[in-house]
Structure 1
């Protein structure tokens, strides 16, 4: 209870002041003239003035408010090392029990775990403490207790404020003098040209252990081992790596573990280099001018990353029409340079309605076939030329072409359709307009009849005759389009059709872009989940085994998402490299930052939290040494007192209270006030009457 004096004037305060001033002047005059009873009159005037002020005693009934303390429990990835998880659980249980037994203390426990933490970079315990105490007035904050290994990445520095209006205490798990080996990436290029060999600078560190030794380092690209070497510990080395393909090239660096180190989880580092293709070199050879020739040229020229070399054979060698040489603006077809000396410099060769006209001898067609087998890409866009005796099929290319012409050319309207296999093939799956019956695109009017000999037929014409065939030949690929009417889609005839996505996907498949592989296993991270995808032309897929960074394995059953595409989502809570395998295919991906702070240093430490503890009067101490838990006792103390010592820690006692009620006792009202006034007047009369 709290007592106080309050006033509730019966008349405006100014009248009381005027009355008191006049009374004081009269009394002062009487004192100067030595009038009998002047002092008694002063008492009477004072009593009347106080009565007009109507004083009363005010009693406030208050209830003390409890102190609020935050207990922040670190269950991050580094806390799974050794016995730390068990130690943390034991410390938490004992701390919460002891704090719960203290009267006037409210405990708010916050667990900072790995839920959603796979996308975070580091352990942020202070942010959790701020959130837990955000609605608590500063005079009620009793402090914060952190149960952690000390690897707190948002701890305030020496010159920063702790942000908590009470003492900060750290209860540290782990042991002093721990040893940990890790890989530090010093320089990683963000981009690299495909087939180039940039260098990655790294350093192997033995923290807490001796230096000067050597360690075995294994280098992998996309899960496949490419090199093993010995590197000096503590020194920077440069590792040349080859960019094998476009998109993410994931390089893993694994160093052999030490016998006495904490964990080998950070003996691995990941560098992700985005492979960028240099300008693609495409050779387009048009056998003769036709309505669709411009379609191929426009498509290839519209891509700034394509260097196009285009030849149209307008004048075969056997044609002699008497035109003077000085009136010809054409150049001779450089067959030797293109198909003998520089053929391997092209990423893609397109034959557009080309047929034998004594321009390319058989030897050069043999070079083209060998170019395909060695990893090259060829697209044959056939017209009626493919069906006659001058067809390029009757060259050494016959061994690599996927369709043998029957000699028949169908001249009739039809809708190109995606075959049943094509619905599962990434080149034609979800092709815009393909779902309709008939498809929502224009008709074509020509088809070269051919018998499939190898590969896959992904588009068909009338009577399910092959229209678009794809085939692999050793290391290379070849595509055969058995119609020259794709230009109708480009010109918008009957509404046109999806010529751009079709031809671009076709070119990318030929150049082995990973996203267009028919059989592929892919991993990616999305919204905190691991997305597992299996692309296949088959009717079913096997379960996939997903391996977490720590080595834990999980079997995942995929579900059909689209034709030819199976998918599953797996929640993940660790940063690091994940692997997936189904027996035939493997895939890897990295979740979270490539080299997260969470596992950069696994040793327990008191240094990170010490500045915040010093700034608030708290303490940081190890409580799990010698294989047992030794917790300090907890006591409540007033603000300004010492908050920690040997074997004990202090929390701030709350100085806040809540007002439950108010009781007032008037001092000059009723008979008491009347008696005082009458007594003062009577005393004045008595004194002056003597």
Structure 2
């Protein structure tokens, strides 16, 4: 295509000559002017456009809360009725493309404990340009766990239809701060909160249990973060449970309990090493275990079985009798690990003591048997 400045530069002198010819009434001036205008029209290339446009629909998202809290009372029925009403009314507007997204509908119980409506809202508009976003409507009970801290990054109208009613009562308790690990036998600092309905005030008794046994009853102020000290009784996994009594006509008592899983660890590892017979690797065991300052080692080597007697008076022996009862009955709970190194049953330990060792392992103790096929 010829640019406008270039076209004007070419046609201006020709147009001027044609006008001068008309002014002086020269023969053929009219035809020259007509030809010049035809040439200009051809160079301008006029085009007639006939466009057909169709307006794109605005997308409206309806986010439906299907979490566990929506199963309480009449909330499921209210949700279904509200959804049906919205679909009917929004269907009257041809300029809207309605998308229904359900959040918290997973069959896994642990995934239904949290309501992530804003994540579902984002997925509904993932393939929609910002200019086509018309708005969103949420049908929920108001418990949303992924709500943004500030103003939502959503530049469109956002509405919420709240299920339930303002007369519902529901107390719940939760841990505010629960460490994952704690030293055995040492107080562990924790924090919890009892939450009431409609800014409820007052105080309430909280039952504290550790591994299924109630250890105390705390007095808590509703709505405030309360400190709690719990002593971890043993190594391994420990269950700390808080519980409050349900009030009359409460929606559910499921959230009247809170559970924290805490792994108990020992400040020092107490190890009992029993060597069945002297060998070169015995020194390796001692060096390995004594190299760590956090390991408390108790080591016994069985140098002579009970049935072996050589007539030496007891007061002249430099050996002591193997303290089986003291180690495997009275103090077995004090050890975190028992190692049998090349030990074989030679009437040193009565059969009954193996039951004590089995009970020790069942309660979380560790047992290591270092032996080869010759001791099987």
What residue is the counterpart of 1:72 in the other structure? 63
8 Å Cα contact 1:218/1:228 also seen in 2:
yes
Provide closer, same or farther for how the CA distance between residues 260 and 193 of structure 1 changes in structure 2, counting only shifts above 3 A. same
Provide closer, same or farther for how the CA distance between residues 59 and 231 of structure 1 changes in structure 2, counting only shifts above 3 A. closer
How far does the alpha carbon of each residue in 1:149-193 deviate from its partner, in whole angstroms, 9 at most, with x for none?
23334344554531x5x4322222222365432324344333211
Question: Are residues 1:219 and 2:208 paired?
Answer: yes
Deviation, structure 1 residue 262: 3.8
8 Å Cα contact 1:187/1:200 also seen in 2:
yes
Give the 5 Å matches for 1:181-192.
181-192=171-182
Deviation, structure 1 residue 59: 0.5
What residue is the counterpart of 2:230 in the other structure? 241
Q: Which has the higher contact order (CA 8 A, sep 6+)?
A: 1
Provide closer, same or farther for how the CA distance between residues 250 and 15 of structure 1 changes in structure 2, counting only shifts above 3 A. same
Q: Secondary structure at the match of 1:56?
A: coil
How far does the alpha carbon of each residue in 1:2-37 deviate from its partner, in whole angstroms, 9 at most, with x for none?
xxxxxxx6x787774344222444467689xx6579
What residue is the counterpart of 1:100 in the other structure? 91
For 1:231 and 1:16, how far apart are their aligned partners in 2? 90
For 2:196 and 2:221, how far apart are their aligned partners in 1? 11
For 2:236 and 2:95, how far apart are their aligned partners in 1? 60
Provide closer, same or farther for how the CA distance between residues 366 and 179 of structure 1 changes in structure 2, counting only shifts above 3 A. closer
Question: Are residues 1:170 and 2:130 paired?
Answer: no
Task: Please give the root-mean-square deviation of Cα atoms over the aligned residues, in Å.
Answer: 4.4
8 Å Cα contact 1:286/1:352 also seen in 2:
yes
What residue is the counterpart of 2:320 in the other structure? 360
How far does the alpha carbon of each residue in 1:561-610 deviate from its partner, in whole angstroms, 9 at most, with x for none?
xxxxxxxxxxxxxxxxxxxxxxxxxxxxxxxxxxxxxxxxxxxxxxxxxx
Provide closer, same or farther for how the CA distance between residues 202 and 472 of structure 1 changes in structure 2, counting only shifts above 3 A. closer
Q: Secondary structure at the match of 1:59?
A: coil
Question: Are residues 1:60 and 2:20 paired?
Answer: no
Q: What TM-score do you get using the length of structure 2 for normalisation? A: 0.75
More helix by share: 2
8 Å Cα contact 1:351/1:380 also seen in 2:
no
Provide closer, same or farther for how the CA distance between residues 479 and 65 of structure 1 changes in structure 2, counting only shifts above 3 A. closer
For 1:478 and 1:124, how far apart are their aligned partners in 2? 42
How far does the alpha carbon of each residue in 1:111-167 deviate from its partner, in whole angstroms, 9 at most, with x for none?
1123157258842223222222222233333322222223334344554531x5x43
Provide closer, same or farther for how the CA distance between residues 238 and 13 of structure 1 changes in structure 2, counting only shifts above 3 A. closer
Question: Are residues 1:199 and 2:189 paired?
Answer: yes
Deviation, structure 1 residue 230: 4.0
What residue is the counterpart of 1:672 in the other structure? none
What residue is the counterpart of 1:123 in the other structure? 115
For 2:366 and 2:256, how far apart are their aligned partners in 1? 43
For 1:285 and 1:54, how far apart are their aligned partners in 2? 105
Give the 5 Å matches for 1:477-516.
486=371, 489=372
Question: Are residues 1:20 and 2:11 paired?
Answer: yes
What residue is the counterpart of 1:266 in the other structure? 255
What residue is the counterpart of 1:275 in the other structure? 264
More strand by share: 1
Q: Secondary structure at the match of 1:70?
A: strand
Q: Secondary structure at the match of 2:240?
A: strand
Which ranges in structure 2 are unaligned for 5 or more consecutive residues?
A: 307-313
What residue is the counterpart of 1:565 in the other structure? none
Count of matched residue pairs: 360
Deviation, structure 1 residue 251: 0.8
Q: What TM-score do you get using the length of structure 1 for normalisation? A: 0.44
Which ranges in structure 1 are unaligned for 5 or more consecutive residues?
A: 1-8, 311-349, 403-454, 457-469, 490-496, 503-690
For 2:368 and 2:182, how far apart are their aligned partners in 1? 33
8 Å Cα contact 1:183/1:268 also seen in 2:
yes
Q: Secondary structure at the match of 1:62?
A: coil
What residue is the counterpart of 2:138 in the other structure? 146
8 Å Cα contact 2:185/2:234 also seen in 1:
yes
8 Å Cα contact 2:276/2:342 also seen in 1:
no
Q: Secondary structure at the match of 1:180?
A: coil
Provide closer, same or farther for how the CA distance between residues 49 and 244 of structure 1 changes in structure 2, counting only shifts above 3 A. same
For 1:45 and 1:171, how far apart are their aligned partners in 2? 72
For 1:152 and 1:90, how far apart are their aligned partners in 2? 21
Structure 1, 270-279 or 176-185: larger mean CA deviation: 176-185
Deviation, structure 1 residue 89: 0.9
